[in-house]
């Protein structure tokens, strides 16, 4: 059932390495629905044995993957899994290939002086955020479990250590191609490309060059669509380096991420993102920039570079066009504008300006408009007073449509609840203090259906964190 998916590419790419066996490990969080959905159907004891590194998965060799990466624009040739082990891959009941990776599972040849470990807080953050994002309809890696290792991790002080068991449709990153390009390893890159194309459901054609362009086009489309999803829900990734960019367009690496609460395209939470490179509104540009780095790497596979550069550049122009179209449509969807109208964009621009000026909560603003059209929950989601003059114009634009249809459209695009930053911090604190969280037990259930407009506890709907003070840190 399990297999070593990346081993055929070679040991320079998939380096054999066993995770640390944590003998005192305990399951802290276990995603039972994912366990069933993926067809694993493990009981807790089995999950604990495999995911704590105490027992290898049958029929597999655990590996660490090599990759390079542009980190905040600076190229780093040798990154790789410095604190993660890919313990095996498997096929789900519907035939989809899934990787199972442990994070925080000990030092590797790529640790570069790091300890290879993960503290409980960042592990819990990844569990909550990746589950919430998946439920919001954002393509994402998922989290099967969090385990406590029973060992301390030293950061600013001593913290309980943890392992995250992450599932992903693939772990092929832009940085994976950058690494093989640097090694001038044409054979391995071709293998990786073919594997990636198969995973993405792309037909292999006879012309090798056309395969590469169609692959690149798909990566760009997937990244573009991901950016629109992040925009839809107000997600700020915080560390969109090329090593954290999966070519299949799933969100990966939940280190310094956060949800935008008070609206601003300039919003940044990560303490290390001082220039705002990965600010909320910059994310699409950065995704496109990352795709550019992929194109550069793929040039290894061409004998004549110039025509290839021209084709890649054309595809990158399409990225902007696809994004701009999706961008306009997204706001129409969020505002329930069922048909295109010449005044749409002016209405959107005015709203976004008001939201920025008055630091209005992104989720609640759109939820308040949705609640209006649903004719319910208007006390939980009151429309901000400063929007009243704008509201008259929006009402005039939408009254030509059937309210039910408008509401149906808006509820598909405007979540009622999101994993709010202060609540994520509270859950993390609960785990540090008590090893469990009664808040998470109820909240995670609600987060699994975020587009349902039902009566939520007030605490889940209010932002408590100061948008200009709240900071996140890379989860190392």
**From CA 243, how far away is CA 69, in angstroms rounded?**
5
Residue 230 three-state SS: helix
Which of 4, 130, 214, 244 is close enough to bind Mg ion by CB under 5 A? Answer: 244
**Residue 35 interacts with Mg ion (CB under 5 A)?**
no
DSSP notation for 18-58: PPP--TT-EEEEE-HHHHHHTT----HHHHHHHHTTSSPPT
**Residue 81 interacts with Mg ion (CB under 5 A)?**
no
- Catalytic-labelled residue, pool 243, 273, 441, 455: 243
Q: Which stretch binds ligand AMP (CB under 6 A): 73-81, 381-389, 407-415, 442-450?
A: 73-81
Which of 116, 326, 336, 415 is close enough to bind ligand AMP by CB under 6 A? Answer: 116
**From CA 296, how far away is CA 162, in angstroms rounded?**
37
Residue 246 three-state SS: strand
**Residue 111 interacts with ligand AMP (CB under 6 A)?**
yes
**Residue 135 interacts with Mg ion (CB under 5 A)?**
no
Return the C-alpha torsion angle 286, 290, 293, 297, nearest 10: 180
* Touching ligand AMP, residues 159-218 (CB under 6 A): none
Q: Is 186 left (phi over 0), alpha (psi -120 to 50) or beta?
A: alpha
Nearer to ligand AMP, 432 or 473 (CB): 473
Q: Select from ligand AMP, Mg ion, none the partner in contact with residue 116, using the beta carbon and a kind-dependent cut-off of 5 to 8 Å.
A: ligand AMP
Which of 40, 47, 79, 193 is close enough to bind ligand AMP by CB under 6 A? Answer: 79
**Residue 151 interacts with ligand AMP (CB under 6 A)?**
no
Give the shortest CB-224-to-Mg ion separation in angstroms.
21
The DSSP call for residue 202 is: P
**From CA 163, how far away is CA 123, in angstroms rounded?**
7
**33-72 mask for ligand AMP (x: CB under 6 A)?**
----------------------------------------
**From CA 475, how far away is CA 456, in angstroms rounded?**
30
**Residue 80 interacts with ligand AMP (CB under 6 A)?**
yes
Annotated binding site for ATP: 80, 82-83, 103, 115-116, 166, 173, 253
CA distances (Å), origin 290, targets 193, 200, 219, 240: 17, 19, 10, 8
374 within 8 A of 391, measured Cβ to Cβ: no
**From CA 381, how far away is CA 364, in angstroms rounded?**
6
Instruction: List residues with catalytic annotation.
Output: 243
Residues that bind Mg ion (CB under 5 A): 244, 253
Residues that bind ligand AMP (CB under 6 A): 79-83, 110-111, 114-117, 239, 243-244, 253, 255, 474, 476
């Amino acid at each position: 059932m399990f297999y070593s998916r990346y081993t055929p590419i070679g040991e320079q790419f998939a380096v054999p390495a066993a995770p640390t066996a944590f003998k005192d490990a305990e399951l802290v969080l276990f995603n039972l629905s994912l366990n069933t959905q993926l067809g694993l159907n493990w009981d807790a004891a089995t999950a604990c044995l495999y995911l704590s590194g105490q027992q290898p998965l049958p029929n597999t060799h655990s590996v660490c993957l090599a990759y390079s990466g542009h980190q905040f624009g600076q190229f780093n040739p040798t990154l790789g899994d410095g604190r993660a082990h890919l313990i095996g891959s498997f096929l789900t009941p519907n035939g989809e290939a899934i990787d199972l990776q442990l994070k925080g599972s000990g030092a590797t040849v790529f640790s570069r002086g790091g300890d290879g470990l993960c503290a409980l807080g960042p592990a819990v953050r990844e569990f909550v955020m990746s589950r919430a994002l998946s439920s919001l309809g954002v393509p994402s890696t998922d989290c099967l479990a969090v385990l406590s290792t029973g060992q301390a991790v030293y950061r600013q002080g001593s913290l309980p250590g943890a392992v995250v068991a992450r599932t992903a449709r693939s772990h092929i990153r832009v940085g994976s191609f950058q690494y093989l390009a640097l090694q001038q390893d044409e054979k391995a890159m071709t293998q990786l490309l073919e594997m990636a194309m198969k995973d993405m459901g792309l037909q292999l054609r006879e012309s090798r060059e056309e395969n590469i362009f169609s692959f690149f086009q798909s990566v760009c489309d997937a990244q573009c669509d991901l950016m629109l999803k992040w925009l839809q829900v107000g997600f700020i990734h915080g560390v969109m380096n090329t090593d954290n960019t999966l070519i299949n367009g799933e969100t990966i690496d939940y280190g310094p991420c956060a949800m935008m609460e008070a609206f601003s395209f300039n919003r940044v939470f990560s303490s290390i993102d001082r220039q705002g490179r990965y600010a909320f509104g910059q994310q699409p540009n950065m995704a496109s920039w990352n795709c550019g780095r992929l194109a550069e790497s793929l040039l290894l596979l061409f004998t004549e570079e110039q025509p290839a550069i021209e084709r890649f550049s054309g595809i990158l122009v399409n990225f902007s066009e696809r994004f701009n179209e999706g961008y306009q449509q997204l706001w129409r969807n969020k505002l329930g504008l069922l048909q295109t109208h010449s005044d749409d964009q002016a209405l959107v621009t005015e709203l976004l300006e008001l939201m920025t000026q008055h630091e209005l909560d992104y989720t609640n603003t759109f939820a308040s408009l949705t609640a209006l059209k649903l004719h319910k929950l208007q006390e939980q989601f009151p429309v901000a007073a400063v929007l009243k003059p704008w509201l008259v114009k929006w009402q005039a634009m939408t009254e030509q449509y059937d309210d039910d249809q408008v509401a149906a459209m808006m509820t598909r695009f405007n979540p009622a609840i999101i994993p709010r930053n202060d609540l994520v911090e509270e859950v993390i604190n609960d785990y540090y203090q008590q090893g469990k969280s009664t808040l998470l037990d109820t909240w995670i259930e609600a987060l699994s259906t975020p587009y349902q407009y039902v009566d939520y506890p007030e605490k889940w709907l209010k932002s408590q964190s100061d948008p200009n003070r709240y900071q996140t840190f890379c989860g190392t």
